């Protein structure tokens, strides 16, 4: 069960999917305190998201931090209120920078690995001594079956899947959900062309609606 007096930290929480998850945590799971982490902080559409969450009765803090570094995760964790300890983590941060293997630069690999794999590692390292109700990582189908032009992204998600398995073998909580395509406007899938979506559909990967995705998220937790 989720401790309603505790705090849940959501990386990528200022993005489209992160915002959906945050609202679901409050409206369905009864979470009352959130720390939303994103590189941009409290800007633009994030203000509207925070207002909706506050309207549902949540206390929300938004932190501008880069979770690919230890310092960024330390900064994010520093926003957790004294008296309302961290009880759950959702790692939904991630970026894509696609290219065929032969053309990928070290920078392209590093930035993609940093946000997803690095963020997951530092969250693990800095919270492993806490009594968390859940440690949920947004992974990708790319890490399981591969994806054309996404070797770096597949590697990053393969790492987080392995990290969660290792956490569980150590007696720590952990879930990793290898998502396919969420059929929502914006987010990392926002750059997909009609042809990309058609190709994925031919391969058996069709878009999940927000309601379908959140229902599956509940089952995973």
pLDDT given at position 192? 58
For residue 206, is it within any domain? yes
CB 3 within 8 A of CB 30: no
Q: pLDDT tens digit string along 163-207?
A: 999 999 999 999 999 888 777 655 555 555 566 556 666 666 666
Supply the pTM of this predicted model: 0.87
Task: With respect to residue 26, please indicate whether it lies within any of the assigned structural domains.
Answer: yes
State residue 152's pLDDT score.
76
Does the structure show a pLDDT above 90 at 100? no
CA distance 7 to 16: 21
Is residue 134 scored above 60 in pLDDT?
yes
Contact 207, 161 (CB under 8 A): no
Give the structural domain span for 130: 7-220
pLDDT at 108 (0 to 100): 76
109 pLDDT exceeds 90? no
Tokens linked to 119: 């963020």
CATH number (domain holding residue 134): 3.40.50.720
Confidence of residue 95 (pLDDT cuts 50, 70, 90): confident
Question: What CA–CA distance (Å, rounded) separates 166 from 99?
Answer: 30
Those residues whose C-beta lies under 8 Å from the C-beta of residue 39, and which sit 6 or more positions away, are 14, 64, 65, 66
Please give the average per-residue pLDDT across 104-112, as a whole number: 74
Residue 1 lies inside a defined structural domain of this protein: no
Q: Which residue has the higher pLDDT, 97 or 15?
A: 15
User: What is the residue-averaged pLDDT of the chain?
Assistant: 86
Number of domains in the chain: 1
């Amino acid at each position: 069960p989720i401790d309603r007096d505790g705090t849940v930290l959501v990386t990528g929480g200022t993005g489209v999917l992160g915002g959906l998850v945050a609202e679901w945590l409050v409206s369905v799971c009864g979470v009352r305190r959130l720390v939303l982490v994103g590189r941009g902080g409290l800007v633009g559409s994030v203000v509207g998201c925070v207002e909706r969450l506050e309207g549902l009765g949540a206390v929300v803090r938004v932190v501008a931090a880069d979770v690919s570094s230890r310092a960024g995760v330390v900064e994010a964790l520093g926003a957790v209120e004294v008296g309302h300890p961290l009880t759950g983590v959702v790692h939904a941060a991630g970026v894509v920078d696609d290219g065929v293997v032969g053309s990928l630069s070290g920078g392209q690999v590093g930035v993609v690995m940093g946000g997803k794999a690095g963020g997951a590692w530092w969250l693990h390292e800095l919270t492993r001594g806490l009594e968390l109700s859940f440690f949920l990582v947004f992974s990708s189908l790319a890490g399981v079956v591969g994806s054309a032009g996404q070797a770096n992204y597949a590697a990053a998600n393969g790492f987080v899947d392995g990290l969660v398995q290792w956490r569980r073998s150590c007696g720590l909580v952990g879930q990793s959900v290898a998502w396919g395509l969420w059929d929502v406007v914006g987010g990392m899938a926002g750059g997909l062309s009609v042809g990309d979506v058609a190709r994925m559909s031919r391969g058996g990967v069709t878009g999940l609606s927000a309601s379908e995705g959140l229902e599956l998220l509940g089952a995973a937790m």
